[in-house]
Structure 1
Amino acid sequence: MRRVVINDVILTPEKAAIIGNTAIIADLHLGFENVMQNKGVAIPRMQVKEIVRNVKKIIDRHNINRLIVAGDLKHEFSKNLPYEWEDVREFIESVDVELEVVRGNHDNFLAAILAEYGIELREHVKVDKYYVIHGHKDLEFERVIIGHEHPAIKVRVRGGLYNFPCYLVADDAKIVLPAFSPLMSGSDVLQNSFLSPVLNKAKRIEIYAVEDEVLYLGSLRDLKKII
Structure 2
Amino acid sequence: MSKDGSISASVIKRLPRYYRFLGELQKEGLERISSRELSERMKLTASQIRQDLNCFGGFGQQGYGYHVDELRMEIGKILGVDKHFKTILIGAGNLGKAIATHINFETRGCNLIGIFDINPKLTGEVVGNIPIRHTNDIESFCEANSPVVAVLCIPKANTQAIADQLVNLGLKAFWNFSHYDLSIDYENIVVENVHLGDSLLTLTYATNIITSTDTDNSEEIE
Same-fold call, TM cutoff 0.5: no
Q: Looking at secondary structure, tell me which structure has more helix per residue.
A: 2
Could you state the TM-score of these two structures normalised by the residue count of structure 2? Answer: 0.31
Q: Taking CA–CA contacts closer than 8 Å with sequence separation of 6 or more, which of the two structures ends up with the larger relative contact order?
A: 1
Could you state the TM-score of these two structures normalised by the residue count of structure 1? Answer: 0.30
Larger radius of gyration: 2
